[in-house]
Structure 1
Amino acid sequence: MFVLRPAAVRDLPAIEELAAASPVGVTSLPANRETLLARILASEYSLAADVAFRGEERYFFVLEDCASGRLAGVCGVDAAAGFKEPFYSFRNETRVHAASELGIVNHIHVLSLCHDLSEHSLLTSFYLRPELAASAEAELLSRARLLFIANAPARFADTLVSAMLGVSCGDEGSPFWDSVGRVYFGLDYHEAEHLCGVRGRKFLAGLMPQQPVYVPLLSEAAQSVMGEVGADSDLPYDILSREGFESENYIDIFDGGPILLGRINALYSIAASRLFTLRIAGAQMAEGEASLIANTSLTGFRAVLAMARIEGDTLWLAASAAQALGVLDGDSVRMVPLQHAAEGGF
C-alpha cells in the first residue's frame, strides 16, 4: 500500500533523488538541495500555521511505499501562484490591423506577457517514478491534493491552475523557447529552467518582452508546439482533464505548454467527496468500492487508495488502510470513489 503524506526533512535525500530524475521544465522541483529543503520547511510551517485566508503557504507531499518506506513520487500545491512574485504566463490574444482605404483587415495572433493567474492557487511539483505511471498510484499522487483542499477550502483560491510541460527535444531544448525566450535572455532552455527553479520567476520581469509577441513572426517549429502537451506531462494532463481542468487562453513562457484551470467546486474529487464516520473492518476487506480516502488532519494529513464500503454516513475500511491513514474507529474521513482510474491495482 502507498500513502501520501506531507514531506519531512528526513525525506530530503530521497526527494533529491526524485528531483534529479524529474524532467527539465518542472521548475518547482529543481535538483538543488537548498531549494528543496526550503520547500520542505515552508510546507511544515504552512501546515502548522493558523490560516484564515490564503497567502504565502506552500504545501509539499510525498508518496511513500508503506512496505519498503521508499518514496515513489512528490507533488505540491501553493495557496497563491504569485504571492511573493508574479506568476508570469503568455495570454493568447488577437489584434486587428486594418487599412480601410485598402479594404484590408487582418486578425493577428499575439502573445501578451501577463500575470493574470497570480491570485489563483497552483498545483506544482508532480513527479512519479516511471515504473508506476500506469498504476492507480498516479491517481493518488495527483488527486489526494484535492482532498486536502476540500478539507481546508479557506486556505485556497476558488480556482486552481497547473502548468503542463510543453514539447521539448531532450538535450536540444524547446522549439518555443528557442524562438522566444532565447532572443531576450541569451540562455538555453535548460539554463533558464534551472535559474527559475532556484531563484524563482522574479528575474524574468526585466528581460521578457513587454510588447506583444506576434506569433506569425515565430518559427514554424515554435508555432506548432504552442499549447501542446509534452510527453512528460501526458499523465498529469490526463488525470487533471478527467477532474474537470481545462486549457484556456494561457501558455507557459518557457516551452509554450498549456496552463490548465479548474474551478475548485466543480472538480470531481472535491465536488464528489464526502465526510464519513469510520468503522474498521478486518485486516483486509475484499468487498466495497475502490476509493480515494483521506483523514481530516492538517499536519498529519494522509491519503490512500483502498476498498471501502458505505452504509449511510458510515464508511467501512480495512484495518491496514486505517493504520496507514493514522485514524481510529469513529474518526472522520473524506472519501471519493476512484472513478476513471488508470489501469492497475493497489
Structure 2
Amino acid sequence: MYEMAKLTGGGFTNLPPDRDTLRKKLERSEACFAKEADRPDDDLFVLVLEDTETGEVRGTSQLFTEVGQQWPFYSYRIQTHTQHSQELDRTFRAEMLSLVTDLEGASEVGGLFLHPSSRAGGLGMLLARSRYLFIAMHRDRFGDKILAELRGIIDDRGGSPFWDGLAGKFFGMSFQEADEFNALNGNQFIADLMPKSPIYTAMLPESARAVIGLPHPTGRAAMRMLENEGFAYEGYVDIFDGGPTVTARTDQLKTLRETRPMEISRCDLDIGDRVLIATGHNANFRCCYGMIEHEGDKVAIDHTTCRTLAVEPGDTAWCVAR
C-alpha cells in the first residue's frame, strides 16, 4: 500500500505516502472488522484488490461508516445570493462558498486507487462496487446518507489552483504541505484558521474559479461510476482542492437495490452470466467476478469462483450484474 501511495500524485488524503499513518489505518481497520455492531460507529474498513495468483495487492478502497466523529467534516457549499436594486432596476446574483459541516454523520466511500498496471479488465469497477456489496451485507453499520469525495484539479507542479486562490492565503503553506498535514493530523487547523464568512467566488482568481467542482482527469471514470451508482453532485466541494463531493441515499444505490442474498446450489457451472459475487462476514468478506446461473431461488456458481471465495453448496452469496 505504501508503494501505491507514492504513485497517487498528491491530493489523495485517504492514502498518504507515510508508513506510520498507513500502519495505523490498517490497525484501525482490523479492529473494526473484528467487532460486531448494529449501528454506525466511526468505523473504517480498508479493502484491497489482490492478484490471487501472486498475492500482490494491486488496488485499495475504503469505507467510513460515520464521518465527522473524530474531527469535523468540512466542505464548501456553493450557494447563490440574490440582491435587487430598485434605483438601478437590476438584479445581481452572486455565487458564494460557505464553510459547512452539513455532511457530518453520513457514511463515505473513498480511497479508491488502482495500480497503473491494473487499470483494465473492469478491475476498477470490481474494487468500487465491492464496497456497495459490503454495505448491503453489513447494512446496520452504515448511515442513511452516503458521500464520495473526488480529487480536484492538481497542476503539473503538484499544486492546487483552488488552494492557491483561496485557502492558501490564510494558512501560509503550500497545497502539498496542507494536504500532508491533514492526512497525518486531521483538519482541526481548518476550523482554527479558515475564515467563517462566505467567500464570493467573483473575488477569486480565474484559475481558482475555473476548477471549482471539477474532478481530476484521472478521476473522471470514477465520477461516472459514482453517477451510475446513483450519486449526484449537489454543490459540495472539497476545501483543499475544490474537487466535487457527491452524495446519495444509501438504500437508493443501484447495487443495494439490485442485490440480495441467495443460497449456492452447486459449484460446477461451466458457463453463465458474468457478475460480481460476494460472500463472508466482516473480515471474511470476499468479492470477485464470476459466473452464475439462477436455479429458482438459488444460484449455481463456477468452480473457480467457489474456490476463490472459499464457498460450497449451501453457503450464501450476494450477486449483482456488472
On whether the aligned pair clears a TM of 0.5, the verdict is yes
Contact kept, 8 Å, 2:76 with 2:238, in 1: the verdict is yes
TM-fit CA distance, 1:172: 4.9
Residue in 1 that maps onto 2:265: 279
* Matches of 2:307 and 2:145, distance apart in 1: 33
Contact kept, 8 Å, 2:11 with 2:154, in 1: the verdict is no
Unaligned runs of 5+ in 2: none
* Matches of 1:296 and 1:82, distance apart in 2: 28
Contact kept, 8 Å, 2:135 with 2:142, in 1: the verdict is yes
- Secondary structure of the structure 2 residue equivalent to 1:96: strand
Q: Does residue 293 of structure 2 align to residue 297 of structure 1?
A: no
Residue in 2 that maps onto 1:155: 141
* Matches of 2:55 and 2:100, distance apart in 1: 42
In structure 2, which of residues 147, 157, 176 is the aligned counterpart of residue 171 of structure 1?
Answer: 157
Q: Which one-letter code corresponds to 1:222 in the other structure?
A: A
- Secondary structure of the structure 2 residue equivalent to 1:234: helix
In structure 2, which of residues 185, 188, 205 is the aligned counterpart of residue 199 of structure 1?
Answer: 185
Query: Percent same amino acid among aligned pairs?
Result: 32
Residue in 1 that maps onto 2:295: 311
Residue in 2 that maps onto 1:7: none
In structure 2, which of residues 44, 49, 55 is the aligned counterpart of residue 58 of structure 1?
Answer: 44
* Matches of 1:173 and 1:299, distance apart in 2: 38
Structural RMSD (CA): 1.4
* Matches of 2:13 and 2:3, distance apart in 1: 15
* Matches of 2:270 and 2:194, distance apart in 1: 56
* Matches of 1:235 and 1:129, distance apart in 2: 15
Q: Does residue 97 of structure 2 align to residue 132 of structure 1?
A: no
For 1:156-211, what per-residue CA distance to the aligned partner results, in whole angstroms no more than 9, with x for missing partners? 01111001111111315111111011111111111111111111122211111211
TM-fit CA distance, 1:302: 0.5
1:219-298 alignment to 2 at 5 Å? Answer: 219-282=205-268, 285-298=269-282
For 1:206-245, what per-residue CA distance to the aligned partner results, in whole angstroms no more than 9, with x for missing partners? 1112110110011111111111111121232121111111
* Matches of 1:51 and 1:172, distance apart in 2: 40
- Secondary structure of the structure 2 residue equivalent to 1:21: coil
Contact kept, 8 Å, 2:162 with 2:241, in 1: the verdict is yes
- Secondary structure of the structure 2 residue equivalent to 1:249: strand
Change (3 A) 1:295 1:172: closer
Question: What number of residue pairs does the alignment pair up?
Answer: 322
For 1:301-344, what per-residue CA distance to the aligned partner results, in whole angstroms no more than 9, with x for missing partners? 10011111111221111222112112222101111111xxxxxx
Contact kept, 8 Å, 1:296 with 1:334, in 2: the verdict is no
TM-fit CA distance, 1:103: 3.3
- Secondary structure of the structure 1 residue equivalent to 2:247: strand
Contact kept, 8 Å, 1:228 with 1:257, in 2: the verdict is yes
